Amino acid sequence: MRDHVSFVPGWKLLLALALPLLLGVGVVAGAYLYSSAAVKPQPVQAAAAPANLEMPAPAGLLVHVVGAVEHPGLYRMKRGDRVYDAIAAAGGVSVEADITRLPNLAGRLKDGEQVKVAFAKGSSGGIVVTRVNLNTATLTELDTLPGVGPALAQRILDYRAQHGSFGSVDDLRHVAGIGDAKFAELKDLVTV
């Protein structure tokens, strides 16, 4: 006994409307399943940045401390730091500082600010004299001394090679070409 299959009246119209809808849902479901099952690419390590590409500056403030401090220069400070902190980072005020003319130590620092610590009247005014060590100086370093050219610098090196290290600055008088006037000019600029 076979059962007779009967269709709903208007089934062709219903099929014409439902078929595109079912196909659309199938395509969306298939695309979702395909994308979630696809192999994710592994992250690639970034290549080195080109030389002309600048890196962002580190966080914080860049402050320039100048004047009568132990170590003037540029310092990276935290946001919210005070002028006192910048001076402390520069080694504190030097003995040549005029403490009556200090900047506002409680003031908050700003990025790019220059903190100036005034010198006392009669001080060297921040001129730093770097003495040349007679026992370790090179020809070029000796040549930077006033009145000392390459020839005299070489005689100083020759004297050191022949007699050993200088025992005192006064030993400089024994170098040929250094008289009393030249020694008086050099004695405060050299050390041993």
Q: Can you name the CATH fold of 132-191? A: DNA polymerase; domain 1 (1.10.150)
Residue 119 makes CB contacts below 8 A (sequence gap 6+) with 67, 68, 96, 97, 98, 125, 126
Residue 113, number of CB atoms within 10 A of its CB: 18
Report CA 145 to chain centroid distance, whole Å: 32
Residue 146, number of CB atoms within 10 A of its CB: 8
pLDDT category, 125, cuts 50, 70, 90? low
pLDDT at residue number 81: 93
Lowest mean pLDDT of 5-9, 13-17, 146-150, 184-188, name the range: 5-9
Sheet bearing 114-117, strands edge to edge: 73-77, 61-67, 114-117
pLDDT at residue number 130: 60
Distance of alpha carbon 143 from alpha carbon 151, whole angstroms: 9
Mean pLDDT of 95-111: 88
DSSP state of 93: B
The answer to whether 66 and 114 have CB atoms below 8 angstroms apart is yes
Distance of alpha carbon 99 from alpha carbon 117, whole angstroms: 9
The domain ranges of the chain are 61-117, 132-191
pLDDT category, 35, cuts 50, 70, 90? confident
- Report how far apart the first and last C-alpha atoms of the chain are (Å, whole number): 126
Residue whose pair of structure tokens reads 């809808």 in the numeric block: 21
Sign of the C-alpha dihedral, residues 82, 83, 86, 91? negative
DSSP state of 160: H
Tens of pLDDT, residues 136-168: 888 888 877 777 888 888 888 898 888 888 888
